[in-house]
Structure 1
């Protein structure tokens, strides 16, 4: 197994991409801290991991709450003795053109993605530096690298996470910490399902047209990226053996964005 006995934290892991990665890490032998807004939200993921023979713990962690993040990381280290991998995955979305966007909605998206990523990073690095190294990962997006209409706070936050990832790769190198950001295309999670009718209404087109002509228009095959695709990449990045791969944005998008 590629991650045997390593300790991993994944935020926003109660469902969607985070859950798929948590289950994949556990199959590869990691002990997985499943973090979500409430402990109950993480419980199903933990139950699935334990039913499959893996090891996991559920954490209540609002990533915008400094104390909650620090306490969660402390709880992981208290239980398992270390933190080897942290993935800042928690996210939200808001659809609006810039000129109609409420400041409160801008702040919410930025707080969860960018402030949350910072707080998780800071808490994780303190543990990783003390223990001699680790892996810091971020759930970015193709929107870390290019923009789409109606998503300005999400695009800005994901670009910011790319910058944070690169800064951590530079600073963390002397402490044995690698840092990379995963940049998926559209994955049909609850977050994306919610966007389909919202974009249809805003653009004045059908939901089918949103899928075909907006979300999947620039892919090579008209297919959604799957949670399994993203989870496989997350395992590879966590298990990669050296700093040859650090500070990188890795795109998994059916060719939507090529770099």
Structure 2
């Protein structure tokens, strides 16, 4: 098992990609703290891991709440004595053209993605610097590299995560901390399923056309990236043995973006 005895905290891990990563980490031997805004969802995911023979802790965490993030990370360390992996995965989406976009909605998307990632990073680094180092991982997107219409706050936030990841790689190196960012194409999660009718309305096309001509248009095979694809990469990045791989963005998008 590639993550045996390591301790990980993953935000937004109650469902979707985050839950798939949490379950995969547990199968690889990690003790996993499942953090989510919805406490019931977090507990459900943690219980599933425990039922499968893994170790898991549920954390109710609003990633935009400084005290909640600090307290959640401290609880992980108090429970298991260390923190090896912190994965900033929590995110939201808002579909709207820039000329109609309210500042409130811009700030909400930026806060969850960027403020949330910063707060987790800071809390994790304080423990990692005091210990044996560790790994920071971020959930970026192809939209960390390029833009799409109707997604300005999301695109800006994902670009920002790329910068944060690189800053952590530079600052953390002397403390044994690595950081990398995963940049998926479209993954068929509830977040993406919600976007399909929203984009269809905004663009005046069918939902099938959104999938074929917007979401998957630039892939090499017309396929969605899967949570299994992302989970496999998440394990590889967490388990990588040296700082030879740090500050990097790894794109998994069926060729949508080739960097």
Aligned-partner Cα distance in 2 for 1:239–1:160: 25
Q: Which runs of 5+ in 2 are unaligned?
A: none
Aligned-partner Cα distance in 2 for 1:136–1:102: 32
Aligned-partner Cα distance in 1 for 2:22–2:230: 11
Deviations 1:62-105 (A, max 9, x none): 00000000000010000000110000000000000111101110
What secondary structure is seen at the aligned counterpart in 2 of 1:218? coil
Aligned-partner Cα distance in 2 for 1:187–1:69: 27
Q: Shift in Å at residue 48 of structure 1?
A: 1.2
Aligned-partner Cα distance in 2 for 1:127–1:96: 39
TM-score (norm 2): 0.99
Q: Shift in Å at residue 232 of structure 1?
A: 0.4
1:209 equivalent in structure 2? 209
2:58 equivalent in structure 1? 58
1:149 equivalent in structure 2? 149
| Contact 1:219–1:254, Cα closer than 8 Å, also in 2 | yes
1:49 equivalent in structure 2? 49
What secondary structure is seen at the aligned counterpart in 1 of 2:138? strand
Q: Which runs of 5+ in 1 are unaligned?
A: none
Aligned-partner Cα distance in 2 for 1:256–1:53: 37
TM-score (norm 1): 0.99
| Contact 2:34–2:45, Cα closer than 8 Å, also in 1 | yes
Q: Shift in Å at residue 38 of structure 1?
A: 3.1
Aligned-partner Cα distance in 2 for 1:202–1:39: 33
1:167 equivalent in structure 2? 167
Moved segments of 4+, more than 6 Å: none
Aligned-partner Cα distance in 2 for 1:133–1:90: 23
1:86 equivalent in structure 2? 86
| Contact 1:38–1:59, Cα closer than 8 Å, also in 2 | no
Aligned-partner Cα distance in 2 for 1:178–1:64: 23
Q: Shift in Å at residue 39 of structure 1?
A: 2.2
Q: Shift in Å at residue 20 of structure 1?
A: 0.2
Q: Shift in Å at residue 245 of structure 1?
A: 0.3
| Contact 2:14–2:38, Cα closer than 8 Å, also in 1 | no
Worse overlay, 201-210 or 45-54 = 45-54
Q: Shift in Å at residue 149 of structure 1?
A: 0.4
Deviations 1:31-65 (A, max 9, x none): 00000013212011111111110000000110000
Matched residues, number: 259
The answer as to 2:241 corresponding to 1:241 is yes
